[in-house]
Amino acid sequence: MTAETFDFVGSKGDRLSGRLERPQTTPRGWAVLAHCFTCGKDSLAATRLARALASNGIGVLRFDFAGLGSSRGSFTETTFAADVEDVLAAGRAMEADGKKPGLLVGHSLGGAAVLMAAGEMPGLRAVATIGAPFDVAHVLHQFDPVSLEMIETAGEAEVLLGGRPYVVRKSFVDDARRHDLGARVAQLRLPLLVAHSPRDTTVGIDNAARIFAAAKHPKSFFSLDDADHLLTRRADAEYAASIIATWASRYLGAPVATV
């Protein structure tokens, strides 16, 4: 496998930092990977998933959402809707570079983002989610009640997420509550693979059941057994990627030559 920098312009004009993982052989297709909430493209899960997919023949772009990692922009000003638009911007940038994505993969809130984006990406062939919430507002469970109340009353507050401080505005909270992910999933009309751990204590397994129930066929589910939400064990990330790659090969078709 080889990796290279792949920066592109996001939906709000910010330069977003991306990393392109190439297979050693001719790729069977290309994918965009959306990381979990506040995690970044260089998190253990995103890195291991992308590299494992590449080792299974799928080229992958992993990138930092605006205001995170090495991407420009302000996290304080971001919303879930903006993340969805940046997934679409990533797809357009890859297509312009001769690497049109056939697969979207999203982890946690990134899974919700790819489900929302999928219907607006022409030529997409399949979508896979890992530990995704059925309700976008589920992400607000990560905020302590005092901080959430302060956001509601003062318009913004500093919140600890993953042990790091972030300023979150009411616009983020309001936007998270307005999306109907179930309706979007019902309209998807694309092959969908839902991966989830029954021991996930951050986003419960019932979320996978609701996504699966809302989706039309063809749809598939596989269990991540005793994996944690962040896939902190390498073996769990590699297992998830190998199953996704095998499943996606049915829809991506023959390997495609790229520049």
Distance CA 38, CA 48 (A): 17
Residue 154 lies inside a defined structural domain of this protein? no
Domain around 51: 2-137+179-252
Q: How many helices (H) and strands (E) does the chain have?
A: 8, 12
pLDDT, tens digit (0-9, with 9 covering 90-100), for 73-130: 999 999 999 999 999 999 999 999 999 999 999 999 999 999 999 999 999 999 999 9
**pTM for the model:** 0.95
| Rounded Cα distance, 11 and 111, in Å | 19
Cα–Cα distance, 36 to 42 (Å, whole number) = 11
Q: What are phi and psi of 199, to 5 degrees?
A: -105, 10
Secondary structure letter of residue 137 according to DSSP: G
Tell me, yes or no, whether 183 lies in a domain: yes
Residue 259 pLDDT level (bands cut at 50, 70, 90): very low
Q: How many separate domains does the chain show?
A: 1
Domain for residue 259, yes or no?
no
The model's confidence at residue 201, banded by pLDDT at 50, 70 and 90, is very high
Task: Give residue 254's pLDDT.
Answer: 54
- Give a yes or no: residue 120 inside a domain: yes
Please give the Cα distance from 61 to 252 (Å, whole number).
16
Q: Which residue has the tokens 């829809």?
A: 251
Q: Indicate whether 37 belongs to any domain.
A: yes
Residue 245 domain-assigned (yes or no): yes
Query: pLDDT tens, 25-44?
Result: 999 999 999 999 999 999 99
Report whether 19 contacts 62 (CB < 8 A): yes
What CATH number is given to the structural domain containing 61? 3.40.50.1820
Count of other CB atoms within 10 angstroms of residue 181: 24
Q: pLDDT for 208-225, tens place per residue?
A: 999 999 999 999 999 999
- 253 vs 139, which has greater pLDDT? 139
Within-domain flag for 153: no
